[in-house]
Structure 1
């Protein structure tokens, strides 16, 4: 795969040299352990998208496509590695042989590439007026903001470059102090924990707090309440009062929730918006005019 990646860097319009590709992969390898520790503790993954874009923007200014390649191999490679490890861990708890688990992951990756491309074309064809801004989506869920963020980042970090965006003459130069603050922020709580071990300052996790502050909810926020309820019942009530059940079924239940959400999403899309277009069921939880949920703003 590394050889194929190098060939693509030189046979396409990526303009990413071989040493840039190796630097991106090396960055992902170095960050797997610290990011993996945070994810193992909190089930939240710290993204390297900004870091990889900034590094490539400094070493290869004016190359937006190369910046996208660097981001994919430096950030998404680490993300896929952590997914691989978490799936193997789940297979270990379910007594699935590692070889069988790995083969199923490979098949899922190959099949997923074709399915994702097909579904993406279906979404663009069905929701193009909402995605390109021709029509306003009453539900606010088809904004395409994730794709726009990815596209805008390639221009800001790759074409304009961080040197101009965060230079001395830029109004955003003060944001660079965040790197220095982030390095020293955990130290006071570490020292307080050493001096007052019973005060539980060790529970203060600065990376997780900063991630929570930056994770601004998107257009639909109904998942926050359901996620909070599930987390409270699992990680507080069951962990403290139903320890045997929590130890036996917690990881399987987490995988069941993920699978159920994906199956429900696919069913709703294919039956209501995709291949078979059926009217959405009307009940108290939605609104007939806006086709949104009851949590929309009343103006």
Structure 2
């Protein structure tokens, strides 16, 4: 394994540098004891720093301890820690010297700025913000506002669809569904509860008018938005334009491919989703062209009791309390 080769190379380098000095084979046990104790000190300091970061995060956000933290622990460091402890005990040596407590305390004090900045979450923030910016500039700005030429905007696209299909959208916004697991199926109807008949269900309809734009060297690149009908028991169906959050769906596939995602092992999915939604919402609200035209929907797809169609209905009811009347008038 790579880390064992690196460790061996470091040890050989130290031995080579010190070989011209006082290193003798007769002192090898002393050397081994000293190395084990210092490795133990370093790992102890690193571990306590990690504990402080997690404790600070829990305090600031009012969160409980996440059991998933155990999965993200560096197993190699844990193995090295207990190996050093076992070696020192078997050698009848003190595991921790009294003076080391002051060193550990001093190290934690000097690292307070990094702990407060939550340095360990830097990759989460950068990745989520990057995806939000890319999704907004690379997709939403092409499907929501008018380009002043061929495409007159999402609102007009919805109205044209209503006229052609004889339906009505009580909320004329693009609903973007972001799931807790990051997963997004090819069609949102896959979230339907096939084993339940007491909940609403989604049905895919035809797509809205195709949008064509020349983007990044691609002539006539096409963009589409899909219309869905939400069927309810003893009530009229409700039309909505909805789709999954493609950047997070891509990240879901990346994380499944372990050969490609080694650098993302420590990525906190829940933090990514939260930061993605927060930052994307800010970008949309600041854009005069896109503000009010897109609705972000968080859906906990890991909860089997939740139904996406009902979640969408709840948001429609929140945005348009009189949506039943709107549908009835169109009829």
TM-score range, shorter chain: under 0.3
Quick check: which one's helix share is greater? 1
Please identify which structure carries the higher strand content: 2
TM-score by length of 1: 0.25
Larger radius of gyration: 2
TM-score relative to the length of structure 2: 0.23
